[in-house]
Amino acid sequence: NAGVMQNPRHLVRRRGQEARLRCSPMKGHSHVYWYRQLPEEGLKFMVYLQKENIIDESGMPKERFSAEFPKEGPSILRIQQVVRGDSAAYFCASSLGQGVLEQYFGPGTRLTVT
């Protein structure tokens, strides 16, 4: 059973470029969550998606950040016009839903903005 997959594992972008982070949930999971972890800090919730729907984006910065989870394919977290403060580890987690609350995390994408 493959776990949650994220790619790329490492991403370097210059200020002003766009970053696209991908997440494939565990097989059978239809709920996806994105979190951000700054160095030496805990994880902060960003957005919760189900297939073709954004359920909760209360943790997402209002500008430059967007997320989607299409009917086919991985979930995408998109950061436009990156700034140095966006440098962090971004983790995706997936859950089965249907009353099952456990969330399983991927290995993360480490974004560095130069």
Partner 1 sequence: QQQVKQSPQSLIVQKGGISIINCAYENTAFDYFPWYQQFPGKGPALLIAIRPDVSEKKEGRFTISFNKSAKQFSLHIMDSQPGDSATYFCAASKRYSGGGADGLTFGKGTHLIIQP
Answer for which of 21, 46, 77, 88 binds partner 1 (CB under 8 A) is 46
How many residues touch partner 1 (CB under 8 A)? 31
What burial class does residue 9 get, using C-beta atoms within 10 Å of its C-beta: 0-12 exposed, 13-18 middle, 19+ buried? exposed
CB of residue 48 vs partner 1: minimum separation in angstroms? 5
Q: Give the footprint of partner 1 on residues 78-107 (CB under 8 A).
A: 91, 93, 95, 97-99, 101-107
**DSSP label at 65?**
E
Give the interface segment with partner 1, choosing from 16-24, 38-46, 65-73, 74-82 (CB under 8 A).
38-46
